[in-house]
Amino acid sequence: VVVRTITYRRLGPDDAGEVLTVQRAAFVAEGRLYGNFDIPPLVESLEQVGHELGTTVMTGAFDGARLVGSIRVTKDGDLGWISRISVAPDQQGRGIGAGLIAAAEEDLPPGIRRLQLSAGAKSAANIVMYERRGYEVFSRASDPAGVEMVLMGKDLPPAG
């Protein structure tokens, strides 16, 4: 039996190519679910991912040298927006997505008092995954591709 340890670390602009590859592979399933492959995680360009890596906090999950997942946190005042949670298709269901959320929540930019994210309204497993981690649906919206999303959030305890 081979037990592999997943390590989590912040990513930088040099990781853009691998992040884009894992993100696109992961989100094809969402595209299929919605019959829409123009959703933002699938149309984002290499240049945009590189820009995001320079301006937001992104955390990667590594199995050895291989990037197997990533997550993004964008600071907007005292709000932190979580997005692009992606796990390579062959690595899903092993706890890496849960590990990415935990790693991101432990390594937030300073001054964030509330976390928010959007999830596809039909993506029941994702919504339940966030609910188990304390996120609650507070609103609904459409993404730029016209896919119906739920907005979820949770307040963070004041820093002690």
Ligand X SMILES: CC(C)(COP(=O)(O)OP(=O)(O)OC[C@H]1O[C@@H](n2cnc3c(N)ncnc32)[C@H](O)[C@@H]1OP(=O)(O)O)[C@@H](O)C(=O)NCCC(=O)NCCS
Stretch that binds ligand X, among 7-15, 85-93, 104-112, 134-142 (CB under 6 A): 85-93
Shortest Å, Cβ 115 to ligand X: 13
The sign one gets for the Cα dihedral 129, 24, 53, 38 is negative
Taking the least distance from each CB to ligand X, the nearer of 102 and 108 is: 102
Q: How far is the CB of 100 from ligand X (least distance, A)?
A: 7
The answer to whether the CB of 43 falls within 8 A of the CB of 89 is: no
The dihedral built from the CA positions of residue 118, 57, 100 and 34, taken in this order, carries a sign that is positive
Residue (27 or 62) nearer to ligand X, CB: 27
Binding mask 25-64 for ligand X (x = CB under 6 A): -xx-xx----------------------------------
CA–CA dist 55, 31 (Å, integer): 26
> What are the tokens at 8?
């989590």
Closest CA to 91 of 46, 117, 60: 60
Given the complex with ligand X, which of 98 and 156 has the nearer CB atom? 98
Instruction: Rank residues 127 and 156 by Cβ distance to ligand X and give the closer one.
Output: 127
Place of tokens 């301006």: 55
Residue 121 sits in the site that holds ligand X (CB under 6 A): no
